[in-house]
Chain A
Amino acid sequence: MNNKWKIQLSVGLICMILGFAITIQFRSVQKNNGAGTISGLRAAEIQSMYQKEKEKNEALYIDYERIKNDLDQYKDAINDTNATTKLMKEQLDNAEILAGMKEVEGPGVVVKMSDGTKTPLPGESESLYWLHDSDLLLVINELKDAGAEAISVNGERLISTSEVRCVGSVLSVNNVRTGAPFIINAIGDPKTLESALLFKGGVVADIASYCEVDVKTADKVTVPAYKGAVNFKYATPTTVKK
């Protein structure tokens, strides 16, 4: 009898653990359903997940626009107060232009770059006649050197963290991908900008030997604001000891 109780008790205990583990695992698997286990999913599921994330992203962008409008309104409210705030407002405006938070317009140049149309010589790679990130970076660097105050590539404002990079056959700027032709808007002194690009043996002359580059000055060039959100994860201002 004693032995029978022992059997019942010990098997009962293990059965309890078994039931507990099975139930909790079952519940967790149901709840986590797929999260964190991308490898187990089929491409179609991943695609639908991607779609969902994209929709979320768009919704967040709408939110962002709304909040930005609110902020603009607050700034307008500050507009008509005393001199100190006026000065601060001016500084803020400058900082915002520099940071690319505001759409700006002014005289400047519009550079249109597209892939070359020449057929490659026998033995030459086709990619020799395509535009690459390096070509765009050369032009952008030259524009900056010539005093461009605001630059955008295919409608994406270049800010301090912007990348200009080939991703497969397209170009990624601010993580937004666009294909050729690339239109670079730059605001600055039109003559200086133009001559910085077009001088003999310069950047454009070099690129034009295998691709199409077209530089036009304009009295009014518009450079849009940076569309993404700025949040710094690692960089914090250092405090100055006095």
Chain B
Amino acid sequence: MLLPILGLIIGCLAAYFLPWNVNPAYSVYVAIAILAALDSVLGGISAIVNKKFSMEIFLSGFFGNALLAAFIIFLGEKLGLDLYIAVVVVFGTRLFQNFAVIRRTYIVQRNKKHEAKSEN
């Protein structure tokens, strides 16, 4: 758990001390990057919890999803459609699903331990 927290802090500090700001026109892309990253982190944790984590899947998932999302938003802007809503909804749903998986697995594991203890 050390490196992820360290990475989070480094990222925050780097952005805090960098002089530039996001143009309001592009802020939707940054927002999607945030969502994609959050989705990947939660997805990664749920994979770790289920012991089926793979670095290739994890990284390709993040970059692939982010690129696809950016492309959809770009397309939406060109077509005059609010396609970013689709991206937000999909990422949002996945966030909650992944969180649900983590939650369930964790509680089931804990209950199992508890039962094993009380049986002894």
Question: Are A36 and B24 within 8 A (Cβ)?
Answer: yes
Per DSSP, chain A at the interface is helix
Question: Are B11 and A10 within 8 A (Cβ)?
Answer: no
Task: Select the residue from A6, A24, A37 with max chain B CB neighbours within 10 A.
Answer: A24
Question: Are A19 and B24 within 8 A (Cβ)?
Answer: no
Chain A residues near B86 (CB-CB < 8 A): none
Chain B residues near A85 (CB-CB < 8 A): none
Partner of A8, one of B4, B14, B24, B45: B4
**A9-37 near B? 1/0 per residue, CB < 8 Å:** 11111111111111111011101100111
Chain B residues near A67 (CB-CB < 8 A): none
A7 CB within 8 Å of chain B? yes
Chain B residues near A11 (CB-CB < 8 A): 3-4, 7, 41, 44-45, 58
Question: Are A15 and B41 within 8 A (Cβ)?
Answer: yes
Question: Are A19 and B15 within 8 A (Cβ)?
Answer: yes
Question: Are B44 and A29 within 8 A (Cβ)?
Answer: no
Question: Are B31 and A18 within 8 A (Cβ)?
Answer: no
Chain B residues near A32 (CB-CB < 8 A): 21, 24, 27
The docked-state distance in angstroms from the alpha carbon of A216 to that of B63 is 79
Chain B positions 50-71 with a Cβ under 8 Å from a chain A Cβ: 53, 55, 58-59, 62
- Number of B residues contacting the other chain (C-beta, 8 Å)? 36
Of all chain A residues, the one with the shortest Cβ separation from B9 is A19
Of all chain A residues, the one with the shortest Cβ separation from B62 is A14
The docked-state distance in angstroms from the alpha carbon of A24 to that of B21 is 7
Question: Are B15 and A18 within 8 A (Cβ)?
Answer: no
Chain A residues near B5 (CB-CB < 8 A): 15
Task: Across the A-B interface, give the 10 residue pairs with the lowest CB-CB distance, nearest first.
Answer: A19-B11, A12-B3, A16-B7, A23-B15, A20-B11, A12-B7, A18-B37, A16-B11, A8-B3, A15-B7
Task: Report A's interface with B, CB cutoff 8 A.
Answer: 3, 6-25, 27-29, 31-32, 35-37
A-B contact pairs, 22 of them (CB 8 A): A3-B53, A7-B55, A9-B3, A11-B7, A11-B41, A12-B6, A14-B59, A15-B41, A16-B7, A18-B8, A18-B11, A18-B38, A19-B7, A19-B8, A19-B11, A21-B15, A21-B30, A21-B37, A24-B18, A25-B22, A25-B27, A28-B22
Task: Report B's interface with A, CB cutoff 8 A.
Answer: 1-12, 14-16, 18, 21-22, 24, 27, 30-31, 33-34, 37-38, 40-41, 44-45, 48, 53, 55, 58-59, 62
